């Protein structure tokens, strides 16, 4: 039975048949795969996490379909954990094995950083949503590293016009970068937090709450200020050749959110 199930000799390869519509497909593949990933951390050692993986290839106009099972076969060759470098290897492998002009992989995963409260020094783990996106062609391997960072923003207008107090927002700051040398997730997190009115923490005692409340009040930021400050820091990093800076501020006194974004640099296409 096992030999019959695994032996495909003589079976029709329907996916390889010609398609009469002659329409190329930009991306076809599989999504929502849960898979282990292993990442080096800036302080040394590694961190293990679980990534959600999407895998795609370009399909030429004359071919009816791609071989979906091959995506999972290839991925499971990396069952001991994906790393950024191995994502590039996997993307190249996909392109060759599936006979495609272009292959594309997306990983999204939680990344944990230990962070000390500003006054008491109490440590707590903060989780950040990180991404690695890789695209491979015969001429180019392109990698984009990204992270989404929660932070606090305090409205400059509210502080200016109010007799006391000011309204603030929880903002989600997004930094994405292409680079020529290693850029750590921790570095992108630091850039994003420095662009906000104040970072957020997982553990805060009352002395810490006083510090962060006053820090935000002394450092008011519009959403425009956040993305401009973030873009300035990313642009000043000589390792970074392209970046996307974005912030979505979840308003506390409006029913809508505020949004701003800046993209600069080479897009990585050959």
CATH classification of the domain holding 71? 3.10.270.10
Residue 69 lies in a domain: yes
Percent of the chain exceeding pLDDT 70 equals 91
Q: What is the pLDDT of residue 1?
A: 35
| CB-CB contact of 185 with 111 (8 Å) | yes
Q: Reduce the DSSP state of residue 54 to 3 states and report it.
A: strand
Q: What is the pLDDT of residue 8?
A: 58
Task: Of 15-29, 118-132, 155-169, give the lowest mean pLDDT range.
Answer: 15-29
Q: What is the pLDDT of residue 4?
A: 38
Query: What is the per-residue pLDDT across 133-154, written as a single tens digit (0 to 9) for each?
Result: 999 999 999 999 999 999 999 9
Indicate whether 238 pLDDT > 90: yes
Q: Reduce the DSSP state of residue 163 to 3 states and report it.
A: coil
Indicate whether 56 pLDDT > 50: yes
Q: Reduce the DSSP state of residue 77 to 3 states and report it.
A: helix
CA distances, 175 to each of 5, 57, 149, 171 (Å)? 47, 26, 8, 13
Longest Cα–Cα distance of the chain, Å, equals 82
Residue 250 lies in a domain: yes
Residue 263 CB: number of other CB atoms within 10 A? 12
Residue 10 lies in a domain: no
Residue 27 CB: number of other CB atoms within 10 A? 15
Q: What is the pLDDT of residue 65?
A: 87
Say whether pTM exceeds 0.85.
yes
How far from chain centre, in Å, is Cα 216? 26
Percent of the chain exceeding pLDDT 90 equals 80
Residue 14 lies in a domain: no
Residue 184 lies in domain: 23-265
Mean pLDDT computed over 27-40: 94
Q: What pLDDT band is residue 12 in, cutting at 50, 70 and 90?
A: low
Indicate whether 80 pLDDT > 90: no
The domain total for the chain is 1
Pure H helices in the chain? 2-6, 68-75, 84-97, 156-161, 185-195, 206-218, 223-236
Indicate whether 11 pLDDT > 80: no
């Amino acid at each position: 039975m096992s030999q019959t199930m695994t032996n495909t000799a003589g079976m029709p390869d329907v996916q390889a048949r010609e398609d009469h519509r002659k329409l190329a497909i930009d991306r076809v593949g599989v999504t929502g795969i849960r898979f282990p990933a292993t990442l080096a951390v800036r302080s040394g050692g590694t961190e293990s996490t679980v990534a959600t993986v999407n895998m795609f290839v370009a399909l030429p106009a004359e071919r009816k379909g791609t071989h979906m099972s091959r995506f999972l076969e290839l991925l499971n060759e990396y069952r001991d954990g994906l790393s950024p470098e191995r994502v590039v290897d996997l993307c190249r492998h996909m392109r060759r094995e599936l006979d495609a002009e272009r292959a594309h992989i997306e990983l999204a995963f939680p990344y944990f950083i230990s962070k000390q409260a500003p006054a008491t020094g109490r440590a707590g783990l903060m989780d950040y949503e990180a991404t690695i996106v890789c695209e491979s062609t015969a001429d180019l391997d392109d990698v984009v590293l990204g992270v989404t960072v929660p932070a606090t923003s305090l409205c400059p207008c509210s502080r200016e016009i109010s007799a006391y107090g000011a309204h603030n927002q929880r903002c989600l700051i997004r930094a994405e970068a292409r680079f020529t040398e290693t850029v750590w997730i921790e570095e992108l997190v630091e850039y994003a937090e420095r662009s906000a009115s104040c970072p957020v923490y997982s553990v805060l005692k009352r002395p810490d709450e006083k510090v962060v409340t006053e820090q935000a009040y002394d450092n008011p930021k519009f959403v425009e200020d956040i993305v401009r400050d973030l873009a300035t820091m990313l642009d000043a990093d000589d390792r970074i050749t392209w970046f996307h800076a974005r912030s979505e501020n979840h308003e506390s006194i409006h029913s809508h959110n505020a949004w701003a974004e800046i993209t600069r640099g080479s897009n990585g296409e050959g």
